[in-house]
Amino acid sequence: MGNVLVLDNVRKSFTLGFIPKKRPVLKGISFAVGEGEIFGYLGPNGAGKTSTIKCVLGLIFPDAGTITLFDRSHLEPKAKTSVGFLPENPYFYDYLTAAEFLDFYAQLFGVPKDERAARIGRLLKLVGMEKAARLPLRKFSRGMLQRVGLAQALVNEPSFVILDEPLGGLDPLGRREIRDIILGLKDAGKTVLFTSHILQDIEMICDRVAIVVDGRIRSIGRLADLISENVLFTEVTVSGVDRAELAPLGESLTAQAGRTLLKVYDEERIETVLTLVRERKGKVHALVPRTQTLEDLFVDAVRRS
């Protein structure tokens, strides 16, 4: 399978301040998104995530570098007909209902009139908003607007979907539902590029990730290749044992309900901890080996910048 999107050494600067001064935002961004994959674009606020997406969509123009969509220049209209987009902070006309809003976008994409109603109903059901189809958008919460915005991004049945912070403003249940929708898009053969600062969500659904810090890619690849599977330490949660006795065996932290969370960095000491708990007639509530996480990788990349 080929690449849907390719960026090669993309650079962008903005002129800011009363005395105009150029500030580089993208400093040579290069990555490719393969057909049929979910690609996570991760970075702190101001790292250049949204600027990258705006360059891809032609909303702003890079100072240097090349961008191709479906093996065409990203500025060609034909390259964009199969792209769906949800911005980070969508703004929609307040007095349209959800159904009217989607009908408007469907018309812009040239969806035939006899197909629009069925497609709109299917999309509203997909994002869990079918009961709000006749409700004006001004009455929607941030999370509801995110859901309708996702439906808008899919109204042209795109093969490539770009989602800028799609999980923002959603409660835990809403985030899970949107994650399931994104995975469903992959199952349907679509390609997804999305940004998020919610690391757990990226770790759960992405095939590959790129970490961008200060306008540069710091890490890129499959999570299995980027993150070490070596055990960093083991968390042991116990009760019935004095913290003073546990202190020499690891880093002890007070937990709720009289329990102690012990971080044991030396594997050989785990058996010593368990023996001590048995001797004191205590109880082991949990024993969890901790490997490197995406958060560890992200924090390390930011610190090194």
> 109's torsion region: left (phi>0), alpha (psi -120 to 50) or beta?
alpha
Q: Is 213 in the same domain as 257?
A: no
Say if CB 3 and CB 66 are below 8 A apart: no
Of the candidates 226, 248, 282, which is a domain's last residue? 226
- The pTM (predicted TM-score) of the whole model is 0.81
Contact 95, 69 (CB under 8 A): no
Let me know whether 248 and 99 are in one domain.
no
Per-residue pLDDT tens over the stretch 71-84: 999 999 888 889 99
263 shares its domain with 114 = no
- Give the lowest-confidence range in 3-7, 93-97, 249-253: 249-253
More confidently predicted of 305 and 28: 28
Note the pLDDT tens digit of each residue in 266-275.
888 889 989 8
Residue-level pLDDT at 293:
72
Lowest pLDDT segment from 3-17, 28-42, 115-129, 241-255: 241-255
Please determine, for residue 15, whether its predicted confidence score (pLDDT) is greater than 80: yes
Percent of the chain with pLDDT over 90: 41
Per-residue model confidence as pLDDT tens digits over 177-218: 888 889 989 999 999 999 887 777 777 888 999 989 889 998
Range(s) of the domain holding residue 238: 231-304
- The DSSP code sequence of 176-220 is HHHHHHHHHHHHTT-EEEEE-S-HHHHHHH-SEEEEEETTEEEEE
Asked if 75 and 169 sit in the same domain, the reply is: yes
**pLDDT for residue 63:** 94
Q: What is the CATH number of the domain that holds 86?
A: 3.40.50.300
| Domain finish residue from 191, 209, 226 | 226
Radius of gyration of the chain (CA): 24
Which residues lie closer than 8 Å to 150 by C-beta, 6 or more apart?
86, 127, 163, 166, 178, 181
| Domain match, 220 and 269 both | no
Helix (H/G/I), strand (E/B), else coil: 26: strand
From 226, 249, 269, give the residue that closes a domain.
Answer: 226
- Mean pLDDT across the stretch 18-25? 85
* Tally of domains within the chain: 2
**Cα separation, 299 vs 296, whole angstroms:** 5
Both tokens assigned to 273: 């901890």
58 and 9 part of one domain: yes
Answer yes or no: do 63 and 142 share one domain: yes
Confidence band (pLDDT; 50, 70, 90) for 255?
low
- Strand order across the beta sheet in which 3-16 lies: 21-34, 3-16, 64-69, 72-73
CATH code for position 262: 3.30.70
